Amino acid sequence: MKLKAIFGAAALAFILAGTAQAQIDVSPVPVLKKTSALPKDWNRTAVFTEIFVRSYKDSNGDGIGDFKGMTSQLDYLRDLGITGIWLMPMNPSQDGDHGYAVNDYRAVNPDYGSMADFQEFLDEAHKRGIGVIIDFVVNHSGSGNALFVEAAKSKISPYRDWYLFADSNPGWYDQSMRGVSGAYWNDPWKPADKVVAGGQGLYYGVFDTTMPDLNLRNRRS
């Protein structure tokens, strides 16, 4: 009897370990209510420049533009008459290029510096009467985002409805239901082309296989 109990407990532990979901922080991000010296509706009349952080100004010689580099150029931008800066995506991204395949919405790309470096840039821009907006990508995430990785593993994943999955291709918008590289998951012709090991079903990704579309009908996503 004791041996059976031990075996049963071990089997249960094995099952639970195999079905456990990764813990992903999806709690609301607190809003920092900070006052700004910028006038109301400053953006309506601002003279904007768009900046791709990676290629703009490198402050430490690693060949990658960064927040400190941008901060060092604020006086120059002000002298040009710039009163608004539009930043291309600055979150960690799997593409290592334009930044639109976001893998973590709660952090800044470490190649660009720290959150404190970004805050310093923001504060210094405001001191010069320059407002800042960021390109925050909410149409899709990167396929390496923890939410998508978990959603793709199982049809009963609690994150499954954060994205758009289907068992067969419904033919939406130029055949954009994807596995990877244009092949479907579990396609016998390209079994190595799976985005997520053991991934089930097809997902909707208009732009690219690395950018699965978020389900905007789901209020949690």
Residue showing tokens 């370990």 = 17
Residue 202 within a domain: yes
- Pinpoint the alpha helices (H) of 80-213: 115-127, 146-153
| Pair (108, 64) in one structural domain | yes
Cα(116)–Cα(135) distance, rounded to whole angstroms? 19
Q: Look at the chain and report how many structural domains it folds into.
A: 2
Domain containing residue 174: 140-221
pTM: predicted TM-score of the whole model, two decimal places? 0.77
Residue 36 maps to a domain:
no
60 with 99, same domain: the answer is yes
- Among the three residues 107, 134, 161, which one is the final residue of a domain in this structure? 134
Instruction: Write out pLDDT tens, residues 36-94.
Output: 789 889 999 999 999 999 999 999 999 999 999 999 999 999 999 999 999 999 999 98
User: Which residues of the chain have a pLDDT value below 70?
Assistant: 1-22, 96, 168-200, 221
For residue 195, give the nearest of 160, 49, 183, 102 by alpha carbon: 183
Contacts of 213 (CB under 8 A, 6+ apart): 139, 140, 163, 164, 203, 204, 205, 206
Q: Is the Cβ–Cβ distance between 181 and 195 less than 8 Å?
A: no
In a domain, 22, yes or no: no
